[in-house]
Chain A
Amino acid sequence: MDIPIVENVLKLNDEVAAINRKTLKEAGVYTVDLIGSPGSGKTSLLEATFKAIGDKARIGVLVGDLTTARDATRISKWCPDVVQINTGKGCHLDANQVRQGLDRLKLDELDILVIENVGNLICPVGFDLGQDSKVGLFSVAEGDDKPAKHPYIVMEAELLLLNKMDLLPHVTFDMDIFKEDISRINPTVQLMEVCATNGWINEWCDWLLAKVGK
């Protein structure tokens, strides 16, 4: 006998994400889920962001990492409010892990929370964490075909960053293809070109500060 039903497979995750969203909203924290391939420059972007934003806004970080604490250690040089979440074998953060991470932060003292997701362009995208927006990070070193191969993040992101622009002269990267594929998958997503290691990230910082009215 068949029993027809319609249930979202990630219902339980989404319920916890809704609780996170409420908690963050009540604390007045704008939350970004930062998603990018391994080594695309997520932690470097955060380091540069702290350097550029200084005390204009207080930013907390949750960092998901398979096994190490290296990213959290790097970020803690800039920011006291960093919580490391080891996912073990998990290729993405889920809402429950974020829930536990939030308990360890003084949310009332923060303006912005950035969640550095596990380096991966597919798995993290489908798991709502309770963020306000997803930001996708690509880098020119990964090649111009990454949006076409990973359309889900392009579809779901409010903002896409293209990092390592300093390397553009040294790699084969067709900017037209990259941009055309993106605008076909998601005609409304915003795209910014950045370079985390030389601090060329002003547009991104302005975007972030505007979200919290600073």
Chain B
Amino acid sequence: MHEFSLATSMVDLVKANCPEGEELESITIEAGPMRGIEPQAMQWAWEAATQHTPIAGCKLQLIQQPWKLHCPDCQTSFEADDMFTDCECGCDKTSPVDCDNLRLVRLTLKDKVGVSDS
């Protein structure tokens, strides 16, 4: 269950980055396919890790990135759903690059009630 330790790391990071006096609607995490994150397990872990904390109720948006493969023949990179996808040029020696991201990319704050734009 590495999802749980990832969730606790996310809670610490979010607490450190959330502006004071604001309430969080959601956070957005980008994860590369190498990380092997199971979305349902991640959601459960997030709920468990945020329970009884100041950010309880904050939602987790998980963006699972596709594989990014590099072709050694034509020196291009492309995205694919499967790690073993051949290049359009016919090369079958493509290998994954930049597939291990795990980043907090956005905090979405709740609108404050009673504050209007006018």
**How distant is the Cα of A6 from the Cα of B103 in the complex, in angstroms?**
6
**How distant is the Cα of A156 from the Cα of B17 in the complex, in angstroms?**
29
**How distant is the Cα of A156 from the Cα of B100 in the complex, in angstroms?**
10
Q: Which chain B positions have C-beta within 8 A of A102?
A: none
Q: Which chain A positions have C-beta within 8 A of B55?
A: none
Verify if B13 is at the interface (C-beta below 8 Å from A): yes
Closest CB in chain B relative to A146 CB, distance in Å? 13
B95 touches A184 (CB 8 A): yes
Verify if A185 is at the interface (C-beta below 8 Å from B): yes
A2 touches B96 (CB 8 A): no
Closest CB in chain B relative to A38 CB, distance in Å? 15
* Residue among A1, A11, A92, A148 making CB contact with B5, cutoff 8 Å: A92
SS of A interface (majority) = mixed
A4's closest neighbor in chain B, by CB? B106
Q: Which chain A positions have C-beta within 8 A of B19?
A: 3
Closest CB in chain A relative to B118 CB, distance in Å? 17
A188's closest neighbor in chain B, by CB? B95
Q: Which chain B positions have C-beta within 8 A of A127?
A: 5
**How distant is the Cα of A142 from the Cα of B104 in the complex, in angstroms?**
35
Verify if A155 is at the interface (C-beta below 8 Å from B): yes
Verify if B51 is at the interface (C-beta below 8 Å from A): no
B2 touches A126 (CB 8 A): yes
Interface size class of A (residues with CB under 8 A): 20 to 34
Q: Which chain B positions have C-beta within 8 A of A187?
A: 72, 93, 95
Q: What 0/1 pattern do residues 18 to 56 of B give for CB contact below 8 A with A?
A: 010000000001000011100000000000000000000
**How distant is the Cα of A3 from the Cα of B12 in the complex, in angstroms?**
17
Verify if A7 is at the interface (C-beta below 8 Å from B): yes
B9 touches A151 (CB 8 A): no
Verify if B6 is at the interface (C-beta below 8 Å from A): yes
A11's closest neighbor in chain B, by CB? B13
Closest CB in chain A relative to B114 CB, distance in Å? 15
Q: Which chain A positions have C-beta within 8 A of B34?
A: 151-152, 155
Scoring A4, A5, A89, A94 by chain B CB atoms within 10 A of each residue's CB, the highest score goes to: A5
Q: Which residues of B contact A (CB under 8 A)?
A: 1-2, 5-6, 9-10, 12-13, 17, 19, 29, 34-36, 72, 83-84, 92-96, 99-100, 102-109, 111
